[in-house]
Amino acid sequence: MGVDRTGYSPRVQQKIVYAGASNVSYQAASQELAELADLRIGPKPVERLVRRIGRERIDQRDAAVAAHQRLPLMKQDTVANPHRSKPSTVMVSIDGGRIQIRSKPSQGTRPEPVANHWRESKTAVLETYQSEIHPTDPDPHVPRCFHDLKRTTKMIRGLGHALPVGLEFDTAGPPAKTTSTEPSVTTETRNDRSIRPGRPQRLVRSVLASRKCAEDFGPMVYQAAWARNFFGAQRKTFLGDGLPMNWTLQRRHFAGFTPILDFVHALSYVFAAAFAGRSLTEGVAIYKRWLQAVWEGRVAEILPELEERSTALGTPPKESVESDPRRLVFEAWRYLRNNVERMCYDEYRRQGLPIMTSAVESAIKMINRRVKGSEKFWSEPGAEAILQLRADYLSETGVMDQFWSTRETQAGHARPYRRAS
């Protein structure tokens, strides 16, 4: 029958683990199993099985990384299988999420009365694309949606970036009142392009998520890219925000990939600096001009303006608030200066490369739906198991189908035959 010590067949275990990894809680998974599969299984058995299967997948992942590291150096970044096709365009993107970890107090000590349980998790997305190389930039003008101040302000706030005083209006309410001589905070966008010209078409996505440190997470992403023949692709890119860790991993494991700074993060700094200490009318004109220069890859041209503006405002004191114009302008100048070589957006579009980290940010949101919440606390083993499985189920490479097929074969000691569709 293929029933192991859990008392459930591999097919039933597959349903339980999927429900446990995909629902917002183990309680919700238990209810869904009862409603849709007539399986009366409590939240605790669901949790135990998820942790067990998650541990098996973690062991498989770590074994694959170890096997890859044992290869000769010359083979570690070559095509994994010469009989497999090489992808045309590939992208690797890494970003961090947040998860609450319940730390155990040391024996003989009292737990702290107030503790910050938020810890960083790491997520990587690896995608293949179909794209074309163009003789010139196929999309030389900034999308009009980025000229909508209300929408842009909401987007920047979602990134956690500080906003200048005067632009922190309620994005859920009506447009801010303006005088007849000031521009509106909204812009007509209903006729904006639904698909950006020259935008690469996404094909297959795989996702990794872990609580591991950067030194351990880097080899995991490296091995996953190697297994998908990413190093044999014609065009390769590594996308990230300005976090130094991202570019350290890129130099260490993906040195042959084109490094690209996420355009939206660059926009957030340009936006803040343009409006810092200025009226709405003056800020709009400067913001649009600077943003167009960044979109065209002419970042170096606006750096002297930013430096001059920062000098005129003065050095921000250490105790300055985040919305202090001196701090906003100085940080924008420093951020763009440090990343100028990763901001050749016109050339990236010409080569058919992605320029935004929306893929990894979307994956983090889907993972957060399962793991993040004010009342959700995880142990380290439980967190690693659920992150592994959630990433597996978000991947489009069939990793879990292969896992369960192998497990079913091992449980039944025979090859499983299924009715043809």
Cα–Cα dist 393/15, whole Å:
12
Domain boundary residue, one of 317, 350, 383: 350
* 96-109: b (≥16 Cβ within 10 Å) or e: bbebbbeeeeeeee
Structure tokens at 352: 């058919």
Max CA distance (Å), the chain = 79
Pairing of strands 89-100, 235-240: parallel
Q: What is the pLDDT of residues 61-94, one digit of tens each?
A: 999 999 999 988 777 777 666 667 789 999 999 9
Count CB atoms within 10 A of the CB of residue 62.
15
The span from the CA of 270 to the CA of 290, in Å, is: 7
Q: Count of CB atoms within 10 A of residue 276's CB?
A: 27
Q: How far apart are CA 193 and CA 182, in angstroms?
A: 26
In a domain, 139, yes or no: no
d(CA 99, CA 371): 7
pLDDT at 2: 54
In this structure, are 48 and 186 located in the same domain? no
Give the containing element (helix H, strand E) for 130.
Answer: strand 118-130
Q: What stretches of 92-243 show up as alpha helix (H) in DSSP?
A: 149-158, 214-227
Q: Are 43 and 19 in contact (CB under 8 A)?
A: no
Comparing 53-57, 86-90, 186-190, the range with the smallest average pLDDT is: 186-190
Number of helices (H), then strands (E), in the chain:
14, 5
- Report d(CA 387, CA 371) in Å as an integer: 8
**In the listed set 300, 329, 350, which residue is the last one of a domain according to the structure?**
350
Q: Could you give the CA distance from residue 275 to residue 255 in angstroms, rounded to a whole number? A: 36
Both tokens assigned to 160: 């956690």
Cα(81)–Cα(254) distance, integer angstroms: 19
Of 215, 222, 214, the C-alpha closest to 238 is 222
Q: What is the mean pLDDT of residues 159-187?
A: 56
Q: What is the pLDDT of residue 375?
A: 83
Q: Of 54, 61, 28, 59, which is closest to residue 43 (Cα–Cα)?
A: 28
Nearest alpha-carbon partner for 219 in 252, 244, 242: 252
The token pair at 236 is 């390769």
Both 184 and 45 in a single domain?
no
pLDDT bucket at 6, cuts 50 / 70 / 90: low
Domain count, the chain: 2
| pLDDT over 70 percentage in the chain | 85
Any bridge partners for residue 207, and if so which? 125
Residues 317 and 407 in one domain: no
Last residue of a domain, one of 303, 326, 350: 350
- Residue 188 is predicted with a pLDDT of 42
pLDDT band at 194 (very low <50, low <70, confident <90, very high): low
For 361-377, what is the mean pLDDT? Answer: 92
Same domain, 39 and 159: no
Split at pLDDT 50, 70, 90, the class of 110 is low
Q: Examine residue 417 and state whether it is found in any structural domain, yes or no.
A: no
Say whether pLDDT at 357 is over 80.
Answer: yes
Residues 328 and 245 in one domain: no
Of the candidate ranges 75-89, 162-176, 337-351, the one whose mean pLDDT is the lowest: 162-176
Residues 92 and 205 in one domain: yes
Domain assignment of residue 109, yes or no: no
160 and 208 housed in the same domain: no
If you ran DSSP here, which 8-state letter would residue 7 be given? Answer: S
Give the pLDDT band of residue 407 (cuts 50, 70, 90). Answer: confident
The whole-number average pLDDT for the span 358-372 is 95
pLDDT of residue 5: 60
Mean pLDDT for the chain? 87
- What is the domain extent for residue 319? 144-192+263-350
Structure tokens at 25: 């809680």
* 204 occurs within a structural domain: yes
Q: Which of 1-5, 209-213, 246-250, 315-319 has the lowest mean pLDDT?
A: 1-5
Q: What is the pLDDT of residue 22?
A: 95
| Residue 365 CB neighbour total at 10 angstroms | 11
For residues 269 and 336, state if they share a domain.
Answer: yes
Same-domain check for residues 74 and 53 = yes
Q: Is the domain of 242 the same as that of 368?
A: yes
With 90 as the cut, is the pLDDT of residue 174 above it? no
